[in-house]
Amino acid sequence: MPDLARLLSPSATASRYLQISSGLRAQITEGSLSAGRRLPASRALAQDLGVARSTVVLAYDQLVAEGYLESRRGSGIYVCDIAPLATPRAPASTATPGLSPVSGMLLAPGAPDPDVFPVGPWAKCIGRITRMAPKALVHLDDPFGDPELRREIAGYAGRWRGITATADQVLVTGGASAGLELAMDLLASEGQLALEAPGYIPTQRFAAARGWSVDWMTVGAQGAELPSQPAQVTVLTPSHQFPLGGCLPIAARQAFLNATADYDGWIIEDDFDSEFRYAGQPVPAMAALDQKGRCIYVGTFSKTFSHALRLGYLILPPGLVDRFRAALRHPTSSAAVTAQRPLADFMSSGQYDRHIRRARRLYAQRYDAAANALESWPAELGQFQRHEAGMQIAFHLAQPIPDTAIVTAARAAGFAIRALSDCDPSGRAQGLLIGFCQSQPEEIRAQMPRLLDIVRSHV
């Protein structure tokens, strides 16, 4: 039985759900709730604590998603064997009121919640590889990456993104940015590049550092608009445009592919957070439509799994495999070798797919909380589109409200929101990029009025 006195405190400022989950997490970490122990039913614990059953259910669900607890059908909730690997947390009562328990900064766009990371299952995969294939943790023969991970990535891309590919077409990189830069370096031989505006800042900076000539594509409500003259290399975020959030229609995707093939050019598809679509199923990737071998797919594990792994991947058209192999004579130093085989094991066991589904369910609740709060903001401040996808929401400010001044003031108050104008090379776009993944729904509902006050102060 958990120590009930450590689950709720009358003086604590955190919500009851957070107090319960934090208290249980601490007791599991220190070993007072041992591995394999069955916890009380949610109804029984709710009665003992004097709270609603839904509060306990939410706390249990969070810890199941994190890997601290395991739900066994028809049997109950049990403690996982993770205590030796966990890091003790400060009690909930010592936390700064309203601040994210993860990073201390609120509403960070594009940032996954580290507490959703499946600690227990991941640790088991590492242990299994350490026992069975220790050499795979320190040595890599193929410059394209671990062969088992590449095979799993090809299967995953087929299941989730509709891409037909073999392991030979997969190249493991040190994150999405490393993959984007590698593809642009090898394909934009004459420096002719088309980028979205507004778009992904690291890509814009990389092109500027290379001195490349950039054609800026206008971005509408549904994504980038096809330019009149195709570029040698076109970089797109078609499934969830960054930062505005639109989804490029099938007809527009096909038009890009046809124009690129006619021009003998290339499309680099940056698919950074497409798994997180909260209404219906994820939209098939643009590369799934490519019949002429002109689209390079860029994926990442930073958004879906962990930033710390620094792993991403390219899926190359068959005609580009030899060209990339000729350029990579050694494994890329930016892709961590140690994590590759354990990640392959994690994916082959089905844990990765289950993790994505859990994360999508949790982030959907947080998206709703953020979007519902924004819908209550006065119309004279601006507007946003409810795309039901991604890891941030773009709120377009009414002119002439300055987004950079708001961001500066918000950061001083503990918010990690970003200015939309930073993503636009012209600086004309004015808005706020607001995240939600690292905060619980009740935290978001408390944070958004504070952010609203900051925006109002700049009108």
- Determine the structural domain holding residue 407 and report its residue range: 355-456
At 204-244, the pLDDT tens digits run 999 999 989 899 999 999 999 999 888 999 999 999 999 99
At 267-291, the pLDDT tens digits run 999 998 888 999 876 678 999 999 9
Residues 56 and 84 in one domain: yes
Whether pLDDT at 85 is above 70: no
Whether pLDDT at 87 is above 50: no
Range from 18-32, 120-134, 344-358, 366-380 carrying the lowest mean pLDDT: 18-32
The torsion angle over the Cα atoms of residues 422, 427, 431 and 437, rounded to 10 degrees, is -20
Distances (CA, A) of 362 to 36, 80, 106, 278, 365: 25, 20, 17, 10, 5
Per-residue confidence (pLDDT) for residue 275, from 0 to 100: 87
Task: Residue 239: name the closest of 303, 306, 182 by CA.
Answer: 303
Q: Element (H or E) spanning 419, and its range? A: strand 418-419
Per-residue confidence (pLDDT) for residue 88, from 0 to 100: 34
Helices H, strands E: what count in the chain? Answer: 13, 14
Q: How many domains does the chain have?
A: 3
Task: Residue 285: name the closest of 321, 244, 319, 257 by CA.
Answer: 257
Residues 314 and 438 in one domain: no
CATH of the domain at 246: 3.40.640.10
Per-residue confidence (pLDDT) for residue 101, from 0 to 100: 38
Whether pLDDT at 116 is above 60: yes
pLDDT band at 361 (very low <50, low <70, confident <90, very high): very high
Sign of CA dihedral 20, 21, 24, 26: negative
Task: Assess if residue 109 is contained within a domain.
Answer: no
Task: Residue 16: name the closest of 45, 37, 41 by CA.
Answer: 45
Task: Residue 251: name the closest of 218, 215, 225 by CA.
Answer: 225
Instruction: List the structure tokens of 174.
Output: 């040190």
CATH of the domain at 17: 1.10.10.10
Residues 370 and 337 in one domain: no
Of residues 7 and 381, the one with the higher pLDDT is 381
pTM: 0.77
